[in-house]
Amino acid sequence: MQRICLFPGTFDPVTLGHTDIIDRALPLFDELIIGIGINATKVPMFSVEQRVEWIQEIYRHEPKIRVASYEGLTVNFCKAVNARFILRGIRYVSDFEYEKAIADINRKMEHEVETIFLTCSPEYSTIASTLVRDVIRHGGDAAQFLPEPVAKAIQNKKP
């Protein structure tokens, strides 16, 4: 049986923190689906299409990675793509408490799906998409927090 894992998130934008988790999870699974969740209550800074394109560009040479967007419950999307694992990145203890609550609910809804937690590398523990968006929104240089294709695209869109 293939070990298919879903790494869900908004990836708005995809950061070096995200790619750290993705890169370190790759050897653990046969396929890693980067699932861009669409939340009707949130207005993203970057379109879903842009975020999909960035991840596809970053991992263009990695056949184990697939990118997809989805709406609704993550466990339902797991069933749709045959993922038995959900990957979540943890930066701080507070992240774990929040993520564990979600994992517990997911497990009750779909007992076949396991949540796997990876702690981020220390150099990326302060990188959060929310903070990166604030830097971008206020005209700061966010390149040090972003994979090269993302940093270049954002830099090219500046007036």
The whole-angstrom separation of Cα 9 and Cα 23 is: 16
Q: Decide if 77 contacts 6 (C-beta within 8 A).
A: yes
Asked whether residue 11 is marked as a ligand-binding residue, the answer is yes
Asked whether residue 105 is marked as a ligand-binding residue, the answer is no
Asked whether residue 130 is marked as a ligand-binding residue, the answer is yes
Q: Which positions are catalytic?
A: 18, 42, 91, 129
Torsions phi, psi for 74 (to 5 deg): -60, -40
Asked whether residue 90 is marked as a ligand-binding residue, the answer is yes
The whole-angstrom separation of Cα 127 and Cα 49 is: 23
The whole-angstrom separation of Cα 159 and Cα 156 is: 8
Asked whether residue 129 is marked as a ligand-binding residue, the answer is yes
Asked whether residue 124 is marked as a ligand-binding residue, the answer is yes
Q: Which residue is listed with tokens 């894992």?
A: 5
Burial tier of 123 (Cβ tally within 10 Å: 0-12, 13-18, 19+): exposed
Asked whether residue 18 is marked as a ligand-binding residue, the answer is yes
Asked whether residue 117 is marked as a ligand-binding residue, the answer is no
Asked whether residue 74 is marked as a ligand-binding residue, the answer is yes
Instruction: Report in angstroms the alpha-carbon separations of 154 from 14, 42, 66, 133, 158.
Output: 12, 20, 23, 11, 7
Annotated binding site for substrate: 10, 42, 74, 88
Annotated binding site: 10-11, 18, 42, 74, 88-91, 99, 124-130
Annotated binding site for ATP: 10-11, 18, 89-91, 99, 124-130
